[in-house]
Amino acid sequence: MKWSWAACAAAFALVSTQASAQSSVTIFGLLDVGLTYISNMSGHSSLQFKDGQNSPNIWGFTGTEDLGGGWKTFFMLRDQIVVGTGSILNGQSLWSKSAYVGMKNERYGSMSAGEQYDFMRDMVKDSPAEISGHLYSYPGGIFTKLAIPGNPSGSFDWSRLTGTPVSNSIRYESPKFAGLHVGAMYGFGNVAGSIGAGNASSFLVSYEQGKFGADAAYTTTKHVGTLGAPDVTIRNAAVGSRYTWGPVFMTALITTVRNVANGAAAASYSAGAMYHVTPLWSLGFSYMYQKGNEELSNQHANEIAGIVDYALSKRTSVYALGAWQRTNHGFRANIDGLLGATAAASGPNQEVFRVGLHTRF
């Protein structure tokens, strides 16, 4: 059966025009492009065109329908693309980032089902990386012996903060009561003969009152071994907080990960602040310390990152950011987001500088 994007767009347009005043269908997106200079990749500097570094290149559809009596249905279809080539990220399927539908009520909360993020992703609002080096200042990179299944480096985004969807999942979030709400999620492994194999579970406790907010999340994912390999269980946890003081926004976050199969474990501790100098100009800074246990050879790293952002409009901004990482002697620095066999530095230091353009719709 042949079809085209034009036909698809026309169909969505028809649905949108027929929607009632109580219903909506919206197309949205985030696009980020720029040039990145890397000081040391296996002993050589590099200047590269990179996209999706300040934010992932996301596009999709979201919608709601008012059912009456305080009930609404909602849906989300979301995918990540590579702007530089126009391709879907890593050849993944369409809507690989989110594809879910659910119902919500202000009194009873919300429940959704499909492909959706676990609650570690919710911790991003407490992440200093989001107000400084973005992808380059998230935990990850150096702990390849974590050996997380399906991970491009074994430890890329080991905190799950940038978003790793859970398939075949059901997610519930309670309504807020005095600023407090909780959440629970379960992902079915759909493995024949076993209820627990390949499943995932996640939990959230969140509090927000005025200028202060705090959150705690826990996620367990079970990966089924292939070709006779044993199953692997990965456990993630995080606790964070945020506070707004006039033009200054401050965050602090602790994240942990453990591979139950090989005993490898790591933790990160980070803090940061963003200062809105004017409605158009903002400055951000963060510091992060990562440390692995004995199974990770006690490797650790310090990292600082900063950003200068200028808003051209409500949707578009230009920016310059940088990150510097130093690991302990005898190890190779590897800033998160730099992937591939030659990504790590030849020594303990690595720096990244980037200028870019970011827009959303």
What contacts 24+ positions apart, CB below 8 Å, involve 179-182?
179/207, 179/208, 179/209, 180/205, 180/206, 180/207, 181/109, 181/206, 182/206
CATH number at residue 132: 2.40.160.10
Domain total of the chain: 1
Host domain of residue 349: 33-360
User: For 8-67, what is each residue's pLDDT tens digit?
Assistant: 444 444 444 444 448 899 999 999 999 999 999 999 999 999 999 999 999 999 999 999
Tokens of 254: 């602790």
Q: What whole-number distance in Å separates Cα of residue 291 and Cα of residue 327?
A: 10
Residue 288 CA from chain centroid, whole number: 17
Query: Which residues, 6+ apart, have CB-to-CB distance to 61 below 8 Å?
Result: 12, 25, 26, 27, 28, 75, 76, 77
User: Residue 143: inside a domain, yes or no?
Assistant: yes
Q: What whole-number distance in Å separates Cα of residue 65 and Cα of residue 72?
A: 5
User: Residue 27: inside a domain, yes or no?
Assistant: no
Q: What whole-number distance in Å separates Cα of residue 161 and Cα of residue 133?
A: 14
Percentage of residues of the chain with pLDDT beyond 70: 94
Is the model's pLDDT at 4 over the cut of 90? no
Is the model's pLDDT at 2 over the cut of 60? no
Model confidence band, residue 226 (pLDDT cutoffs 50, 70, 90): confident
User: Residue 22: inside a domain, yes or no?
Assistant: no
User: Residue 8: inside a domain, yes or no?
Assistant: no
Q: Which residue has the higher pLDDT, 37 or 337?
A: 37
For the CA atoms of 79, 85, 89, 90, the dihedral, rounded to the nearest 10 degrees, stands at 160
User: Residue 16: inside a domain, yes or no?
Assistant: no
Please check whether residue 22 is in contact with residue 64, taking contact to mean a CB–CB distance below 8 angstroms: no
pLDDT at position 91 is 66
User: For 251-263, what is each residue's pLDDT tens digit?
Assistant: 999 999 999 999 9
User: Residue 9: inside a domain, yes or no?
Assistant: no
Percentage of residues of the chain with pLDDT beyond 90: 79
Please check whether residue 178 is in contact with residue 210, taking contact to mean a CB–CB distance below 8 angstroms: no
User: Residue 159: inside a domain, yes or no?
Assistant: yes
Q: What whole-number distance in Å separates Cα of residue 92 and Cα of residue 79?
A: 9
User: Residue 1: inside a domain, yes or no?
Assistant: no
